[in-house]
């Protein structure tokens, strides 16, 4: 089964996970031993020093090669720059998931919305008697139809109807948002739930994250801007802070999320002269059913990219986040409202993705994403440790989006000066594994198989977080060789991003599902 890329597209840090077509006997996939890796990193002999690697790289202004595996139906074309950091040494660091504290939440409010009054965000989505009554009528109609056409669904609908009728009895007739100002404090989710067990938002959050913390505030929009600020600390789903602002109501995508591995949702790279189609990652403009897609006219984007980036730089300094620098930027279209008829409204923004730098080297956690979703000890366990990053959206109104995701705390230097395998060894591992990792699913069965093509345009020695095997929320930042480019799969779809990531210390291939 072909393993898909870790990719940055449509403005989100996303990871698609699957296995591989086969397992060769080489140790690159057979053994992942953290203790052994650290022993290799701190060996005292002079072999594989970073100085030797830098000297070796003088032979590799570029890496060029074409090859094909006819059995696995993969063609590879490498025409890549090879880049290594211009520093004296590479190290190994131990990191852990960092909680968001009250002081940081206060800084964000002061920097982004100093004069805004926030109200309890759950009241924005409060279910009134009128909303529930409409759902009750819908369920009654469903029951009538099901009795004629689908009797097996009747019991299910009747149970849902009974739940709605119970909810209706205690639901408020009307909710005035301004009756519920927040104190701008982070709260324990358990305490919020205990204070109002009938609140559907608190109940949902408690079921998901009963030992976590949160803040969720929204403005009333009377100044012409609708602000929403959400933060979450969760041992299971990670820690994040999200801010969105707009002149056309609250952004349709809920700002709170059970997962924190994506930044600004539903945005696509803007193509000159084209309307984006959000149902197809911006590849076309034809909407199913002829739905209308329009750019709003009251949120223009006329400032220069340089001026927008300066706003981001100032914000990061105000928040004490100077360790993060811009890694990727561009003009994007962000979906902000979707109608019942399928119509969609978007706004144009500059979107900046900022990543942490250690030793003046970017830390790209795309290879270190970790997720557990299955049964352990007879219980279903779902946990996510997402990719660290900061995504900022800017238009003529200023900062209109700020997403601070899965922050890390750098706790200690485990290896001050790490050994690094020479590129010639890494190159050999890449050439063996790239065809296996990208073999099409149909290569395992019978019948005609379409080829997968891999284009590698960049090779970089960077840092990546990898997860420690027996600890979900701690990891190591290690040097890795990152092979970047485009994979065109058997159906013709293209994915851009990391093609393969190889641990520079022990030469093992990073498994995106395990996070190491």
For residues 345 and 336, the answer to whether their CB atoms sit within 8 Å is yes
> 18: which 2 tokens?
């699957």
> pTM of the full predicted structure?
0.81
Give me the residues paired with residue 69 across strands.
Answer: 74
Residue-averaged pLDDT of the chain: 82
- H helices then E strands: how many in the chain? 11, 23
> 316: which 2 tokens?
């990061």
Share of the chain above pLDDT 70, in %: 79
Containing 171, the helix (H) or strand (E) segment is none
Q: What is the predicted pLDDT for the residue at 498?
A: 85
Determine phi and psi for 90, rounding to 5 degrees.
-120, 145
- Please, what's the b/e burial string for 128-162 (b: 16 or more CB within 10 A of its CB; e: otherwise)? ebeebeeebeebeebbeebeeeeeeeeeebeebbe
Residue 11 — left, alpha, or beta (φ > 0 → left; ψ -120 to 50 → alpha)?
left
In the numeric block, the tokens 């100032």 are attached to 314
Query: Which of the 8 DSSP states describes residue 509?
Result: B
Give me the residues paired with residue 404 across strands.
Answer: 241, 390
Share of the chain above pLDDT 90, in %: 47
Q: What is the predicted pLDDT for the residue at 18?
A: 24
The Cα angle at residue 320 between residues 215 and 93, in degrees rounded to 5: 95
pLDDT at residue 284 above 60?
no
SS3 330: strand
pLDDT at residue 196 above 70?
yes
* Strand ranges in 219-287 using DSSP code E only, listed in sequence order: 226-233, 240-246, 267-269
Q: Are strands 398-405 and 6-9 parallel, antiparallel or unpaired?
A: unpaired
How many whole angstroms separate alpha carbon 243 and alpha carbon 247?
Answer: 14
Residue 30's pLDDT band (cuts 50, 70, 90): very low
Q: To the nearest 5 percent, what fractions of the chain are helix, strand and coil?
A: 25, 35, 40
Residue 267 — left, alpha, or beta (φ > 0 → left; ψ -120 to 50 → alpha)?
beta
For residues 76 and 456, the answer to whether their CB atoms sit within 8 Å is yes
pLDDT tens across 236-275, in order?
888 999 999 999 988 755 555 443 344 445 667 676 666 6
Q: Burial of 443 by CB count in 10 Å (0-12 exposed, 13-18 middle, 19+ buried)? A: buried
Q: Kindly list the distances between the CA atom of residue 223 and the CA atoms of 28, 248, 298, in Å, as whole numbers in the listed order.
A: 58, 12, 14
How many whole angstroms separate alpha carbon 141 and alpha carbon 160?
Answer: 13
How many whole angstroms separate alpha carbon 376 and alpha carbon 56?
Answer: 46
Contacts of 269 (CB under 8 A, 6+ apart): 9, 10, 11, 282, 330, 331, 332, 333
Average pLDDT over residues 367-388: 69
How many whole angstroms separate alpha carbon 483 and alpha carbon 461?
Answer: 9
> 361: which 2 tokens?
């080297």
pLDDT tens across 159-173, in order?
999 988 988 988 888
Q: What is the predicted pLDDT for the residue at 16?
A: 26
Give me the residues paired with residue 63 across strands.
Answer: 80
pLDDT at residue 314 above 80?
yes
Q: What is the predicted pLDDT for the residue at 502?
A: 93
How many whole angstroms separate alpha carbon 392 and alpha carbon 230?
Answer: 15
pLDDT tens across 445-477, in order?
555 668 899 999 999 999 998 877 667 778 899
Q: Greatest CA span in the chain, whole angstroms?
A: 80
Residue 385's pLDDT band (cuts 50, 70, 90): confident
Q: Burial of 440 by CB count in 10 Å (0-12 exposed, 13-18 middle, 19+ buried)? A: buried
Average pLDDT over residues 107-130: 92
In the numeric block, the tokens 């057979």 are attached to 30
In the numeric block, the tokens 């919020």 are attached to 192
- Residue with the bigger pLDDT between 101 and 380: it is 101
- Residue with the bigger pLDDT between 278 and 209: it is 209
The highest-confidence range among 266-270, 305-309, 512-516, by mean pLDDT, is: 305-309
pLDDT tens across 80-103, in order?
989 999 999 999 999 999 999 999
Q: What is the predicted pLDDT for the residue at 260?
A: 38
């Amino acid at each position: 089964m072909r393993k898909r890329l870790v990719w940055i597209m449509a403005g989100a840090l996303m990871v698609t996970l699957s296995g591989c077509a086969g397992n060769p006997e080489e140790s690159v996939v057979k053994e992942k031993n953290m203790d052994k890796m650290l022993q290799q990193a701190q060996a005292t002999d002079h072999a594989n020093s970073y100085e030797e690697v830098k000297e070796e790289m003088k032979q590799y202004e570029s890496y060029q090669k074409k090859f094909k595996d006819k059995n696995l139906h993969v063609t590879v074309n490498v025409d890549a720059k090879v880049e290594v950091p211009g520093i004296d040494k590479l190290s190994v660091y131990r990191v852990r998931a960092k909680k968001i504290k009250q002081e940081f939440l206060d800084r964000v409010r002061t920097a982004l919305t100093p004069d805004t009054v926030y109200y309890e965000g759950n009241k924005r989505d409060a279910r009134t008697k009128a909303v529930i009554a409409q759902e009750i009528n819908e369920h009654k109609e469903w029951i009538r139809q099901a009795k004629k056409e689908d009797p097996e669904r009747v019991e299910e609908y009747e149970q849902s109807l009974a739940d709605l009728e119970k909810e209706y009895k205690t639901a408020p007739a009307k909710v005035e948002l301004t009756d519920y100002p927040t104190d701008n404090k982070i709260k324990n989710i358990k305490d919020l739930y205990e204070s109002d067990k009938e609140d559907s938002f608190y109940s949902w959050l408690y079921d998901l994250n009963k030992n976590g913390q949160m803040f969720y505030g929204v403005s009333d929009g009377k100044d012409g801007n609708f602000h929403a600020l959400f933060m979450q600390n969760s041992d299971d789903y990670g820690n994040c802070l999200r801010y969105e602002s707009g002149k056309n109501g609250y952004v349709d995508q809920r700002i709170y999320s059970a997962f924190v591995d994506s930044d600004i949702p539903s945005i696509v790279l803007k193509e000159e002269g084209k309307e984006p189609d959000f149902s197809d990652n911006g590849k076309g403009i034809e909407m199913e059913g002829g739905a209308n897609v329009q750019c709003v006219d009251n949120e223009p984007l006329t400032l220069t990219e340089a001026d927008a980036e300066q706003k981001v730089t100032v914000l990061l300094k105000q928040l004490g986040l100077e360790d993060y620098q811009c890694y990727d930027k561009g003009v994007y279209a962000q979906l902000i409202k979707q109608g019942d008829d399928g119509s969609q409204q978007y706004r144009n923004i500059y979107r900046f993705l900022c990543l942490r730098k250690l030793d003046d080297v970017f830390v790209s956690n795309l290879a270190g994403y970790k997720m557990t979703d299955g049964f352990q000890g007879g219980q279903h366990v779902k946990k996510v440790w997402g990719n660290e990053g900061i995504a900022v959206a800017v238009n003529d109104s200023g900062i209109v989006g700020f997403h601070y995701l899965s922050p890390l705390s750098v706790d200690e230097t485990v290896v001050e000066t790490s050994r690094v395998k020479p590129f010639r060894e890494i190159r050999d591992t890449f050439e063996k594994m790239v065809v296996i990792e990208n073999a099409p699913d149909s290569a395992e069965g019978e019948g005609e198989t379409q080829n997968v093509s891999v284009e590698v345009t960049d090779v970089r020695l960077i840092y990546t977080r990898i997860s420690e095997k027996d600890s979900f929320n701690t990891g190591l930042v290690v040097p890795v060789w990152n092979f970047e480019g485009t994979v065109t799969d058997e159906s013709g779809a293209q994915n851009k991003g990391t093609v393969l990531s190889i641990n520079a210390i022990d030469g093992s291939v990073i498994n995106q599902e395990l996070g190491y």
